[in-house]
Structure 1
Amino acid sequence: MSAASLSRHPGYRSLFAPKALTLGLIMPLETYPDAPAPTMRGHMAAAVAADAAGLSALWMRDVPFYDPGYGDAGQVFEPLTYLAAIASVTTSIALGTAGIVLPLREPKLLAKQVATVDQLSAGRMMLGLSSGDRPSEYPLFGIDFATRGE
């Protein structure tokens, strides 16, 4: 993709404004020390408020399973489904994945899912990819952590 074509993409324009610092948030913005997982209570309202405040992006992490060795409960919600819901209540804020764990996804289906969110959001979808950092998740998918990037 050329720089000229990227400059027409609404998500790209939101994140890479010329001569400007942009600010985004990673969702969900909630702690849950006394519960097994976060809820979605108030998340859509928070997304609308971030959009109205002029923030550049909302990001979702891709953490397939909770690993107590990492000291966080990760992101229990499926990020692309969550971003599709956020797209339905926002108008200008970019929507991105803060590292879809590519070795744990089927690439053609992932491409279709991302294209769907991009269409639902009128071009605001930004795809971030990663190779993953939690070895305990890979055996659950029948994948060897050591060779995940090959």
Structure 2
Amino acid sequence: MEHFQTHNGFARAFREKHLTLGFLLPLESYSGSFPKMDIEEQIDLVKKVDQMGFASLFVRDAPIYDPNFGDVGFLYDPFLFLTYAAAHTEKIALGTSSIVTTLRHPLHLAKTAASLDRLSNQRFIFGVATGDRAIEFPTFKVNPEHKGELFREAITVMRKAWKESFPHIQTEHIEMTEGDIVPKPLLGDIPIFGSGYSRQTIDWLAEHTDGWMFYPQNINDQKTLIKKWSEASSTFRPFVQPIAIDLSEKPNEFPKPITGGFRAGRKFLIEYLKAYQAAGVNHVVFVLKPGKRPAKETIQELGEEVLPYFPSNA
């Protein structure tokens, strides 16, 4: 884990006993399944959050649009969009939350992730998951009962492909006895973050991943979970959570719950973030979808009034 302190994305977003702030794409407040902004408007906001000094941008992976799910997830392929975003930004970490490893071949994943890490100047944070949209598994002819083992296989294979030249890899789905996967990440590795339990034990995740993305919970439950995570980890492994926000124009407005978060003024938000920092959360990813204000206004206020309390790492 110590070698990731020289990884630009990891070092920008994660430090022990410190909380930093990022966003989930799209950077937009909207109703329904599909965002409304065109790509250039979105990239303008991507550049804005980078220039204001936020730590990260994350994007979801939804290979198949399921109209019954109620949310497209993200319109574009996450790897392609993050590569495009990398060309328009300088410092911000670029992450996936999370790639559905069960529906992609591990060797393709290894090459794509290593390419993005190199093209982004080592800013890629590789969030991985088993998938939660039921129609995807029959579409790809993948047995959902095998999600756990496919997840483990993907991580094991990718790490070997990144680290070794001309690796010999033999699994149930791979027989690699010749050739190599290039390019290699500059560190011979990429920060991998699990999402939820992904059908694994907390001990397995602590041993084989470099950080953990978990769902929002009340502070006592989150504190208990982070304690278990820290005890299972031999070194610092960041804990990341999303929070959906509808930031009020009134700084003192009291919170009202919404799905995945709350509507509130910035003063409550600052105290909320301080409490979760004290509980051990290292990074919060803002979800702007349920907001009532234009995303540009929300980002501006967060950058000017909230970010100074939780600065990104230099």
Q: Give the TM-score taking structure 2 as reference length.
A: 0.44
1:50 aligns with 2:49: yes
Q: Give the Cα–Cα distance (whole angstroms) in 2 for the partners of residues 20 and 57 of structure 1.
A: 15
Q: Give the Cα–Cα distance (whole angstroms) in 1 for the partners of residues 38 and 32 of structure 2.
A: 12
Q: CA deviation at 1:60?
A: 0.7
Q: Give the Cα–Cα distance (whole angstroms) in 2 for the partners of residues 55 and 5 of structure 1.
A: 23
SS at 2:131 equivalent: coil
Structure-2 change in CA distance of 1:49 and 1:104 (3 Å): same
Partner residue, 2:145: 146
SS at 2:6 equivalent: coil
Alignment check: 8 A CA contact 1:87 1:121 kept: yes
Partner residue, 1:14: 12
Alignment check: 8 A CA contact 2:34 2:72 kept: no
Alignment check: 8 A CA contact 1:102 1:130 kept: yes
Structure-2 change in CA distance of 1:111 and 1:53 (3 Å): same
SS at 1:100 equivalent: strand
SS at 2:23 equivalent: strand
Pairwise mapping of residues 118-129 of structure 1 onto structure 2 (< 5 A)? 118-129=117-128
Partner residue, 1:83: 82
Q: What is the alpha-carbon root mean square deviation over aligned residues? A: 2.0
Partner residue, 1:27: 25
SS at 1:128 equivalent: strand
Q: Give the Cα–Cα distance (whole angstroms) in 2 for the partners of residues 34 and 130 of structure 1.
A: 21
Q: Give the Cα–Cα distance (whole angstroms) in 2 for the partners of residues 58 and 84 of structure 1.
A: 12
Higher radius of gyration, 1 or 2: 2
Q: Give the TM-score taking structure 1 as reference length.
A: 0.90
Once the two structures are overlaid, the 10-residue window that deviates more, 12-21 or 60-69, is 12-21
Q: CA deviation at 1:140?
A: 1.0
Structure-2 change in CA distance of 1:18 and 1:35 (3 Å): closer
Paired residue for 1:4, among 2, 15, 31? Answer: 2
Q: Which amino acid aligns with 1:9?
A: H
SS at 2:20 equivalent: coil
Q: CA deviation at 1:32?
A: 6.2
Q: Which amino acid aligns with 1:61?
A: R
- For residues 86-136 of structure 1, the C-alpha deviation after alignment (integer angstroms, 9 at most, x for no partner) is 000100000000010001111111111111111111100000000001111
Alignment check: 8 A CA contact 2:34 2:71 kept: no
Alignment check: 8 A CA contact 2:9 2:124 kept: yes
Q: CA deviation at 1:41?
A: 3.6
Stretches of structure 2 that go unaligned for 5 or more consecutive residues are 150-314
Q: Which amino acid aligns with 1:88?
A: A
1:135 aligns with 2:127: no
Q: Which amino acid aligns with 1:42?
A: E
Q: CA deviation at 1:149?
A: 2.1
Stretches of structure 1 that go unaligned for 5 or more consecutive residues are none
Alignment check: 8 A CA contact 1:32 1:38 kept: no
SS at 2:62 equivalent: coil
Structure-2 change in CA distance of 1:32 and 1:39 (3 Å): farther
